[in-house]
Structure 1
């Protein structure tokens, strides 16, 4: 009998060690790892792509626990500390690249941010949950790997600096920032996902202001201000300047604003920007915007499978020798869908193919044909006939 108990204890111990650690991944689409959790934790479905081991007492009825997380009943129970502290540090989940479950196509990282070693954000670091500006600022310190989960809308009184090796992810579809924005300078390896940005009136008047930063992925976010003021009351929603490089902007809902996305800030900055500013825009929904979708100087852009609706002045503006491949986008009531000769002293270059211009094709202003016929990464180009429904339903936070 004694030998049986020892053997049972040994089996239980081995079983528990082979399960996911607290707050680790335990399931989800394409997950090939273990699907059980250590004692005291339950595998909870966060979305179709990601299931996580959370304390069993946090799983409420109808919260979709995954039944394959059973640990033998005689496994020793762990003591789960409780705290009222607003910041909670936990081991990082094993996959930190959030994928919104409302998207009809996968939102895995593709585009220029997948190059130059890739963009992993805070993978391997601790997860911290924040709900106000002071907690956010504290969590962002340093260049160590870190994952910051934003719970609710945080009122920012000033722009907040984001350092390298960071993921900032909304806890739900109504999490994000208002009042000011995020700024990156001399940073790298940053992921921003599932967040709402609005009414950004910090020192830069941008929601995202990035300078001299590389490998940045902006995914499944919403950006908006208003059009009740002059076009310079706010500045940009998502701006990358001063030799930023290897950027992907995907599955975002960008709306109700004048000047949305500036890439390269000045006609006179060729010395710094030439050979940089590689950026991909895909599956974004631009609606009720004035211009800059994007406005690109000197750099290289791949713009595909986006929707442009009710664009007042101009949509894709490629200038100052920049090169762009613009394909399989949908334009609805979008003035000047593609231009190469606006606003600067030198023209840009465009290859355009298979775009749906609706009734605005005659307002195109493509004066220079470029040579960017291919891009150096794999991607799936959705049929332009399905892009409108695909993007309008899938863009934005989940």
Structure 2
């Protein structure tokens, strides 16, 4: 798999009043993706389309914590099967054998919604640009070695709700999440997918749809890369309470976040790595480090965002190790000084881009249909 040429980190951070500078083009890194036709906000660009194949990305394309702890290969070495219905997807996903499960069209959970449990040693792979889980959430509980690529996800078609602890309606299926990770799940890679619900400006209940990808408990060694997350309140909860102590070891890189209210991510305890992501109109809070988490936050591009990097809402603050982030037309907490030190244990210099290049690179490469 082709990767971008190595570009070394830039010390400090950059602030620009508005974006308008021509950004350098870069070669596109192939990987994988997920979602349905986006509900576009006025004037906001969607990632450009590209060709793809129905073959999983080479393992060499994996960068980050999911490449540690023995690595992540999904269903490699197992049969390739096609899921065309919810029943088929459910049976294949829970199988004990390694499988590459291809999804070429829409699999719907209907207005009631559905939750599919994914067992160890699986690859869920969208074909072309049309693999779509509509109202179908995934649960990964006490499992390992799973890849989800090139699929589109939404829970916005589900109407089955319950009243949660905050006295607000919340989806009754899959805890309202597109993907729930829990227990001792390890070595998980979510790549080149698309996740969305409804524009928070018009769907104002922040709890109706919960997380796009959430992780709690002893889950660890996770990479979230080259995805397109948009039109949603709360993107990622890493650690579901101030008592959910653990070092979940999550890498976020080359993701596109647009029209998200908050949690990109919220991260409690342990260490994490957030690099080369493009944030556009994240208007509540951005990356929120809490409960003594130490996050390496480097060479991200924040545009029209509020509090791009902060620590809020926990009794114990979190910390960050910052390098080379670019803040364009943003406001609030935009730190340029580190409060902790964390060096990720893996090599990633070959895919690390300068912050000024990140917007164009991520718009070209994130989302479905770009393997």
Q: Do residues 167 (structure 1) and 123 (structure 2) align?
A: yes
Q: Do residues 135 (structure 1) and 98 (structure 2) align?
A: no
Structure 2 CA distance, aligned partners of 1:206 and 1:250? Answer: 18
Structure (1 or 2) with the larger CA radius of gyration: 1
Structure 2 CA distance, aligned partners of 1:363 and 1:242? Answer: 29
Q: Secondary structure at the match of 2:339?
A: coil
Residue number among 138, 143, 163 corresponding to 1:182 in the alignment = 138
Residue number among 355, 358, 362 corresponding to 1:384 in the alignment = 355
CA contact (8 A) 2:194 2:367 kept: yes
Q: Do residues 312 (structure 1) and 287 (structure 2) align?
A: no
The residue number in structure 1 matching 2:215 is 240
Q: 1:247 to 1:203 in 2, by over 3 A?
A: closer
Shift of residue 269, structure 1, vs aligned partner: 2.1
Q: Do residues 215 (structure 1) and 187 (structure 2) align?
A: yes
Equivalences for residues 33-72 of structure 1 within 5 A: none
Residue number among 150, 155, 158 corresponding to 2:114 in the alignment = 158
Residue number among 107, 114, 119 corresponding to 2:67 in the alignment = 114
Count of equivalent residues? 300
Structure 1 CA distance, aligned partners of 2:344 and 2:288? Answer: 19
Please, what is the CA RMSD of the aligned residues? 2.5
Shift of residue 362, structure 1, vs aligned partner: 4.5
Q: 1:395 to 1:107 in 2, by over 3 A?
A: farther
CA contact (8 A) 1:180 1:205 kept: no
Cα deviations across residues 244-281 of structure 1 (Å, max 9, x unaligned)? 100000000000000001100010222xx2xx200100
The residue number in structure 1 matching 2:228 is 253
Q: 1:347 to 1:366 in 2, by over 3 A?
A: farther
Structure 2 CA distance, aligned partners of 1:29 and 1:371? Answer: 31
Residue number among 198, 203, 206 corresponding to 1:231 in the alignment = 206
Q: Secondary structure at the match of 2:302?
A: strand
Q: 1:126 to 1:303 in 2, by over 3 A?
A: same
Q: Secondary structure at the match of 1:181?
A: strand
Cα deviations across residues 305-356 of structure 1 (Å, max 9, x unaligned)? 000000111111110011100000000001101012x011111110111000
The residue number in structure 2 matching 1:321 is 292
Report 1 or 2 for greater relative contact order, CA contacts < 8 Å, sequence distance ≥ 6: 2
Tell me the TM-score normalised to structure 1 length: 0.71
Q: Secondary structure at the match of 2:107?
A: strand
Q: Secondary structure at the match of 1:218?
A: strand
CA contact (8 A) 1:96 1:123 kept: no
Shift of residue 49, structure 1, vs aligned partner: 7.5
Structure 2 CA distance, aligned partners of 1:378 and 1:49? Answer: 18
Cα deviations across residues 32-76 of structure 1 (Å, max 9, x unaligned)? xxxxxxxxxxxxxxxx979xxxxxxxxxxxxx9xxxxxxxxxxxx
The residue number in structure 1 matching 2:310 is 339
Structure 2 CA distance, aligned partners of 1:29 and 1:299? Answer: 32
Shift of residue 299, structure 1, vs aligned partner: 2.4
Where structure 1 has 5 or more consecutive residues not aligned to the other structure, the ranges are 1-27, 31-47, 51-63, 65-92, 100-105
Structure 1 CA distance, aligned partners of 2:120 and 2:127? Answer: 21
Residue number among 283, 295, 299 corresponding to 2:266 in the alignment = 295
The residue number in structure 2 matching 1:357 is 327
CA contact (8 A) 2:56 2:125 kept: no
Shift of residue 365, structure 1, vs aligned partner: 6.3
Worse-matched range after superposition: 289-298 or 132-141:
132-141
